[in-house]
Amino acid sequence: MVDWKRGARRVLYPAYERRVLRRMPDNLPKHVGVMLDGNRRWAKAVGRDTAHGHRAGAANIEPLLTWCEEIGIEVVTLWLLSTDNLHRPAKELEQLLEIIEDAVDSLADQRRWRLNPVGALDLLPDGTASRLKTAAEATSEVEGMIVNVAVGYGGRREIADAVRSLLHEHAAKGTSLEELAQIIDVEHIADHLYTKGQPDPDLVIRTSGEQRLGGFLLWQSAKSEFYFCEAYWPDFRRVDFLRAIRAYALRERRFGS
């Protein structure tokens, strides 16, 4: 019965995907943020260890980026490791960082996308931070889609870093605190975020059934639409992605007006 169902899906899903694409509205997102959640629970469900779940999740990154590229998305932000994840058991964290490093290297080697590390790189092991920076340098001239690789990322930390950077900038200029308090506004802080110069995410997708942001792009997602998918990240399929995009495109976005 299981094999029969799998065979039916292989036949039916491509036809369904083509149907969804044909009926897709024009107002597609420019920037999509993705919370790649559920690797560990997926591994437990299939009777494998945690590292296997992380490797399966890493293998699903390139397909996702291909799907985004196919419909013309300009920026994708992938949350691969949070600042909270840095407190996981040492063995698991070491394995996870190695998997992330290999995945980012693989993406960089293709020269298809411009990789941009976002996060508190100073919290990461030197080797991990170095490989992320090398991937960014290697793809800096690529004209394709921008892919923000969020490793050691936390939304609160990002805002704190932005304010700290802003204070350092104005201290170097000799601006007093009183003068800074008079001129500081939302744009000043936004100019110091990890994603400065990029459009804010139009759509944020989270897999695994969890319905919370967990600190992902807290500042940038103020006007984002959200899509929560029940599938664990390793099981996230093209049809799930297209459903998320269609749900976004069919929403009437009013922004409080």
Active site residues: 37, 85
- Rounded CA separation 187/161 (Å): 15
The pair of three-digit structure tokens given for residue 109, joined into one six-digit string:
């080697």
Q: In angstroms, what CA-CA distances link 145 with 24, 49, 111?
A: 21, 33, 11
The pair of three-digit structure tokens given for residue 122, joined into one six-digit string:
């100073």
130 phi and psi, to 5 degrees?
-65, -40
- Rounded CA separation 146/73 (Å): 9
- Rounded CA separation 179/252 (Å): 41
User: Using CB atoms within 10 A of its CB, is residue 55 exposed (0-12), middle (13-18) or buried (19+)?
Assistant: buried
78 phi and psi, to 5 degrees?
-105, 120
* Span between the terminal Cα atoms of the chain, in Å: 52
Nearest alpha carbon to residue 37 among 214, 247, 243, 221: 214
Residue that is written with structure tokens 């590390």 in the block: 117
